[in-house]
Structures are given as structure tokens and as C-alpha cells.
Structure 1
């Protein structure tokens, strides 16, 4: 399993609640978390099968921005 990290604009509990159903329903996402206390709002995704580009597309589909770190 690999950990992929992204700089995001997911910056509050409301944002987390919007992205939660999208990430939870994405096949290949084993586990994820976002640290809204950091300046870069780092999203960490554990996956065996997804690429960084696929995660970025998923986050964008939820209405947020993500940039691989």
C-alpha cells in the first residue's frame, strides 16, 4: 500500500463533510485523512491501485483542488 499526499483547499469541517462521501465511495481508496490545521491542508490517501492523477480527479469532482506533494 502506498501513501499519496496532496496539498488541497479542503479547509474546514464542512469541506471534509462534502468530500467524505466521494472518497469513501471511490474504489481503491483504503483509508484517507486531511489535516485542516496545516497551512497546505494535506490530504493523505492510502491506496494500492490508484494513481495521484486519479485522486486529483476525484477531489476535483467533489469541487476541491488537489496538488500532489
Structure 2
């Protein structure tokens, strides 16, 4: 059975291209982030992060620190 624990999903307010660009710079320079994407077409603006080293709390703190809303999507 495949393990998907390294795929972290979040509900955010990252909805505009300018927001996405700022998040790109932030996550691209964060050690442990292998890959990420934001679905701005989804009503929850879902942020998907692939990381084998980081947890939900670390990503939430990073995103919130930069002024965006972010919570774990359950």
C-alpha cells in the first residue's frame, strides 16, 4: 500500500496570481519542500505541498507569517 503522508493539503486564501507568485518565492526557498501547487480555481484555494521532512504546522506557520490564511484541509 502506498504512503501519502508526505502530501500535505491546506485551505488558503491564496487566490490571485500575485499571491501565488509570492508563495512561489517563499516555498521555493524552503528546505524540505519537494513540490507544491495552489489551485486558485477551487473555492478553498487548495495548497498542496509534497514534503517528507515538514509537517502541516510548519507550513501553516510559514504561510500565516507572510499574511495569508492557511489551515489543514481535512
Q: Identify the structure with the greater strand proportion.
A: 1
Match of 2:10 among 6, 11, 31: 6
Unaligned runs of 5+ in 1: none
Aligned length: 69
In the alignment, structure 1 residue 51 sits paired with structure 2 residue 55: yes
> What is the TM-score when the length of structure 1 is the normalising length?
0.94
- From the CA coordinates, give the structure whose radius of gyration is larger: 2
Query: Alpha-carbon deviations, 1:8-29, whole Å to 9, x = none?
Result: 0000101101111111001110
Unaligned runs of 5+ in 2: none
Moved over 2 A (4+): none
RMSD: 1.0
